[in-house]
Amino acid sequence: PMPPPSAYLRACDEYVKLRTGEFYALRASVLYAALLNDMQKYDMVAMASFRAAQFTDEIVRALLLEQASMAYLRMERPHTRRSAASLLQAASQYEACGQKHLALRCYTCAANFYKTRCTSLYDHALFKMAFLVHNSGRIDEALCYLLPLLQGSLPPIDLSLIPISAPTRPYYISDDI
């Protein structure tokens, strides 16, 4: 990894000396993440983004969670599961502040990851995508997201593997109580 440019470090030092404004911690975290991104320390970028996301509003939190997701994918050995999980969190934050298009984009990326994993998170992403699209008035597109849910995306459960113990005596509710 290349060392960061000296002008960038000087700018960070000048900013640290100011310590004014209500977004000081957020700004410092974003500068720190940018510095680490230049140094190709993507695991620390993700950690800094998650920490900064804890004390911001929904839209900035969603952006920081998306930044963490991208950092997970840029690692030497990409952490795709963590990336998809942070995309689900970002989509939830976008949805909370009314950014339906951005939420749909995050849910779509997460659904693409979970599609081959046979997990209920794929169903969750499909449901949320159908809900967002339906609220936008595009009912045909919403039905396209709902069809896999109706058909069932999870593999069938083999009931012979589940131990079922039958009750020895039937339980009835008594009228005497």
Q: What are phi and psi of 42, to 5 degrees?
A: -70, -30
Give CA–CA dist 27/109, Å, rounded. 28
Q: What is the 3-state composition of the chain as percent helix, strand, coil, each rounded to the nearest 5? A: 70, 0, 30
pLDDT per residue as tens digits for the range 81-138: 899 999 999 999 999 998 988 998 999 889 888 888 777 888 888 889 989 998 888 8
pLDDT over 90 (residue 65)? yes
- Nearest CA to 18 out of 31, 33, 3 is that of 31
> What pLDDT does 177 receive?
47
Give CA–CA dist 24/31, Å, rounded. 11
Cβ(15)–Cβ(31) under 8 Å?
Answer: yes
Q: Write the CB contacts of 17 (distance below 8 Å, at least 6 apart in sequence).
A: none
Would you give the DSSP letter of residue 169? S
